[in-house]
């Protein structure tokens, strides 16, 4: 979307119908479940607009009921695939609680990918994993204790020398800002920003290696981009 998407506020319904961008089966390309086959449910709309975001989460007109959505999920998900990734856009913009509860009841692992600014009350569950990639100075206070992993996308400049994490706004190009930091002891992943240009990408990879080694973070590449899969 490259920062061109409309900013959409949180719109909570009873969660029995959701605005869905897409449902697809692939490999998880980044973060703690990298390389695992996963069924992705991409929710439409986002409450932020990051200038480098290249994800399409606005073009769908599909508003399935929960039953219709599960019909699609189960037609796309092979039986051996036990991981469902709920992503966006920003998934907490909509009431995903009924969706999550139903997936957990099916004994599936659920990973939610969020920018950290919104929250919907969810059950505590060993198979629910919330991965936050902060894009602003704010993390919702109810979400914060539920985050299992933090993820940061790094560029070669705009990195704090104190902790190796980004100090550059994701909302306005070339603007310094404070991006929310994880609490001490958090599980932290760093990955290079895809700048669309090899020289810059190489510099972005180098800074991730350096930062991971200096501060004890885990580095992953955005392998789905290298593999050219969704």
* DSSP classification of residue 144: G
Nearer to ligand SF4, 49 or 129 (CB): 49
Among 95, 109, 111, 115, binds ligand SF4 (CB under 6 A): 115
Rounded CA-CA distance 130/81 in Å is 19
Nearer to ligand SF4, 42 or 129 (CB): 42
| Minimum CB–partner distance for residue 55 and ligand SF4 (Å) | 5
Binding mask 182-221 toward ligand SF4 (x if CB under 6 A, else -) reads ----------------------------------------
Q: Which of 197, 191, 192, 230 is nearest to 31 (CA)?
A: 191
* Distance, CA of 126 to chain centre: 19
Rounded CA-CA distance 74/106 in Å is 11
By the rule CB under 6 A, 88 interacts with ligand SF4: yes
Q: Would you state the structure tokens that stand for residue 173, as one six-digit string?
A: 């190009």
By the rule CB under 6 A, 50 interacts with ligand SF4: yes
Rounded CA-CA distance 42/24 in Å is 8
Among 135, 179, 192, 217, binds ligand SF4 (CB under 6 A): 135
By the rule CB under 6 A, 8 interacts with ligand SF4: no
Nearer to ligand SF4, 88 or 104 (CB): 88
| Minimum CB–partner distance for residue 213 and ligand SF4 (Å) | 26
By the rule CB under 6 A, 89 interacts with ligand SF4: yes
Per rule CB under 6 A, count of chain residues that contact ligand SF4: 11
| Minimum CB–partner distance for residue 191 and ligand SF4 (Å) | 13
Which DSSP string do the residues of 150-201 spell out, in sequence order?
EEEEE-SSSB-TTTS-B-B-SSSTT-B--PPPPPTT--EEEEE---SSHHHH
Q: Would you state the structure tokens that stand for residue 18, as one six-digit string?
A: 């959701």
Nearer to ligand SF4, 81 or 144 (CB): 144
| Minimum CB–partner distance for residue 89 and ligand SF4 (Å) | 5
Cβ(75)–Cβ(24) below 8 Å? no
Q: Which of 46, 44, 47, 55 is nearest to 21 (CA)?
A: 44
Q: Which residues bind ligand SF4 (CB under 6 A)?
A: 46, 48-50, 53, 55, 88-90, 115, 135
């Amino acid at each position: 979307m490259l920062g061109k998407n409309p900013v959409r506020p949180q719109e909570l319904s009873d969660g029995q119908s959701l605005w869905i961008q897409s449902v697809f089966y692939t490999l998880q390309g980044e973060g703690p479940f990298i390389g695992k086959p996963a069924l992705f449910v991409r929710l439409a709309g986002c409450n932020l607009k990051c200038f480098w975001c290249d994800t399409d989460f606005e073009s769908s007109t599909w508003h399935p009921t929960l039953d219709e959505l599960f019909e699609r999920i189960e037609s796309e998900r092979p039986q051996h695939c036990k991981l469902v990734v709920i992503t966006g856009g920003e998934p907490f913009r909509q009431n995903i609680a009924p969706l999550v509860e139903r997936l957990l009841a099916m004994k599936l692992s659920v990973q939610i990918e969020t920018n950290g600014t919104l929250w919907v009350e969810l059950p505590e569950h060993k198979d629910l994993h919330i991965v936050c990639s902060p894009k602003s100075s704010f993390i919702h206070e109810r979400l914060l204790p539920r985050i299992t992993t933090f993820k940061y996308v790094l560029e070669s400049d705009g990195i704090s020398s104190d902790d190796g994490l980004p100090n550059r706004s994701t909302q306005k190009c070339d603007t310094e800002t404070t991006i929310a930091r994880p609490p001490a002891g958090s599980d932290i992943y760093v990955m290079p920003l895809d700048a669309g240009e090899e020289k810059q990408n190489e510099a972005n990879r180098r800074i991730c290696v350096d930062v991971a080694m200096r501060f004890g973070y885990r580095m992953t590449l955005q392998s789905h981009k290298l593999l050219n899969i969704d």
